[in-house]
Structure 1
Amino acid sequence: MSGTVIRVLIADDHPIVRDGFRGVFAAEEGFEVLGEAANGAEAVAMAKALRPDVVLMDLRMPVMGGVEAIGELARAGSPARVLVLTTFDTDQDVRPAIEAGATGYLLKDTGREDLVKAVRAAARGEAVLSPAVAARLMSQVRAPREALSEREVEVLRLIADGASNREAARRLFISEATVKTHLLHLYAKLGVNDRAAAVAAGFRKGLLGIEED
């Protein structure tokens, strides 16, 4: 963060929504709204130029959507934490945003106080999820005998090679919070509780080069 002031960039295609968010943070000490973007492409350009601490990112915007913008920022090595703020909480919206590198995912009916707390937490690098989104992710994690996704296998292979969460995030161009989410998913799918057991299970199941008996 930039000193004690959290620098915020607002990305939403609705002017009235941007005005509302600006008003929230203008009334709070310790925040500075650097600017507003009306689409994902503008958000990426402004984030690169202004280097905010947190980007409030809508998902469905013209020119470039939020998920694509999050991915662009991750590939560019932007230090900004992206907090998705949207009305959509379906699997098709939540998971791609988190996998692209979003630090958090909130719905637009989030209360003012909770929103401010969430932005502070995101600025510290903490994962932030609305209760509805957290419940959806947990239901996915608990799905029995579900096959690992391609990205989960990539994370498992990096962990088997001794990579830390930070190193895995750097090599996959995603956030550490996303790596942790992938780890939770693959732990549940493999029926294990830690990294060592996950690697052992990965070898047994042939995911890491040795076929299962």
Structure 2
Amino acid sequence: MTGVVLIFGVSGFVGGHLAEEFCSFGYKVYGCDISESSDIADQVTFIPCDILDQVQVRKVISETKPMYIVDLAAISSVSYSWKEPAKTMAVNVEGTLNIFESAKEIIPNAKILVIGSSEEYQRSDDPINEEFSLDSCSPYGLSKITQERFAKLYREQYGMKIYCVRAFNHTGVGQSDRFVIPSWCRQVALLSAKKKRMAISL
């Protein structure tokens, strides 16, 4: 066995694919989410957990003692973040802090991967790199900037091994049609089946 991985948000679009990838390389994988998905690989040990419940998060980390933690639990829709900004901040920031705090006390040497977003960057028509200004104009983007700032704080103050990425759009099989590309695909499929001309909504 290569090591123990704990994935928060395993029932989401990325979580299922990532869990399967880890399993294929021989890792022991535990997956947490509020509810289980049928798309999770059979080799994954699922543990129900609400990331906003600090007691639950601490219990999961204490029982599994992972070498690696991946934080995929998030409100990840920009449009939804405008409807529920408080919930977006709670899940994306408070939830991540629950992971940091529990890991700090139980497994301080574990490596933690935090998934940020290109939404953190200031809007621009020009190519950007990691040095580009962070100045989001959405609640989702602001929550990810805040998440990343806390990661920096915990690295500097406690020496924790927390890694942040700012992922750009990704899509594929199993992604919810709340997101733009699956929405377009669904609409095109419906139009093709009905064999009539209609406008595709954005």
Fold shared by both chains (TM-score > 0.5): no
Which has the larger share of helix?
1
Q: Specify the TM-score bucket, using the shorter chain as the normaliser.
A: 0.3 to 0.5
Bigger relative contact order, structure 1 or 2, given CA contacts below 8 A and separation 6+? 2
TM-score (norm 1): 0.39
